[in-house]
Amino acid sequence: MSDNEKGLSRRGFLKTTGIAAGALVGGGLIGGLVGYNTKDNKQISNEMTNGEQHGAPSSRARMFFTNDKDFMILSAATERIFPKDDLGPGAIELDVPYFIDHQLAGNYGSNAREYMQGPFKAGQSTQGYQSRLTRAEIFQQGITKIESESQSRFKKGFSDLENAQMDEILTVFQKDEVAMTAVSSGFFFKLLRQATLEGAYSDPLYSGNNNMGGWRMKEFPGHQGSYAQVIDKEGFQKIEPKSLSSMQNMQH
């Protein structure tokens, strides 16, 4: 592989340039993009609630994105970053797009606990984030740019593209080759990638990591009270994951 294909294990992720589109596995995911009431997702919902509740979890509604189109672009992009495969669910099945939507509507989206006073200047990369934009504004602009990049390259909307075409577009964002206003496309991509992983692996209370599917793949047991009785044992301990909601149930 060329240097361009080196991953995040190296410190210079932002400085390295990304991934050749051909290196990624193809396959059609777009069929499942319209809505979340596909057969597979219904089954997951039922498992999650022991069959007591039917239909989609109540967290599957939007607080931030106002239209389906933007949300579908976001969904398709996150699925390319974290695709469904033989290991298990991808971003869409894990409800990552809803996680991101909900986060953008809150403190995360408005950079509420960060220093946002001017003057805003570009600075060196070692000085970090210097944009006047909030994350909500960056995502909004980034989604629009993904769509316009798709139209100009392929004369099609992003969510109608083949996987390899989507990857080509995400890669130019990653490589910082798309002009954005008051933020770099590389920064937007980094944010999108990080938010996707956060949605896949945070406690389901944030409406991602549906049915703890992210944790199951990684064999992370989530919230466990204590490992004091097992930590000295040889061999890998397979432990059924628990979310923080299990504590609430105990308290009722």
Binding to other proteins (CB under 8 A) within 96-155 occurs at 107-108, 111-117, 119, 121, 123-130
CB of 71 to other proteins, least distance (A): 20
Q: Which is nearer to other proteins, 61 or 112 (CB)?
A: 112
Q: Which is nearer to other proteins, 159 or 163 (CB)?
A: 163
Q: Which is nearer to other proteins, 40 or 219 (CB)?
A: 219
Q: Give the whole-angstrom CA distance, residue 105 versus residue 62.
A: 9
β partners of residue 85: 88
DSSP-based three-state secondary structure for 171: helix
CB of 200 to other proteins, least distance (A): 8
Q: Give the whole-angstrom CA distance, residue 221 versus residue 215.
A: 7
Q: Which is nearer to other proteins, 68 or 203 (CB)?
A: 203
Helices (H), the chain: 39-48, 68-81, 96-104, 107-110, 135-154, 163-174, 185-201, 213-218, 245-251
CB of 172 to other proteins, least distance (A): 14
CB of 55 to other proteins, least distance (A): 26
Q: What are phi and psi of 101, to 5 degrees?
A: -55, -45
Q: Which is nearer to other proteins, 55 or 223 (CB)?
A: 223
59 with 98: CB under 8 angstroms? yes
- Should residue 8 be labelled a site residue for other proteins when binding is judged by CB under 8 A? yes
Q: Give the whole-angstrom CA distance, residue 22 versus residue 237.
A: 37
CB of 78 to other proteins, least distance (A): 10
> By CB under 8 A, what part of segment 203-242 binds other proteins?
203, 205-206, 214-215, 217-228, 230-234, 236-237
Residue of 116, 105, 23 whose CA lies nearest to 71: 105
Q: Which is nearer to other proteins, 44 or 200 (CB)?
A: 200
Q: Which position has the token pair 């950079």? A: 111
> By CB under 8 A, what part of segment 53-72 binds other proteins?
none
Q: Which residues contact 237 (CB under 8 A, 6 or more apart)?
A: 230
Q: Which is nearer to other proteins, 27 or 35 (CB)?
A: 27
The 10 Å Cβ neighbour count of residue 183 is: 19
Site size with other proteins, rule: CB under 8 A: 78
CB of 212 to other proteins, least distance (A): 11
> By CB under 8 A, what part of segment 169-208 binds other proteins?
170, 174, 193, 196-198, 200-203, 205-206
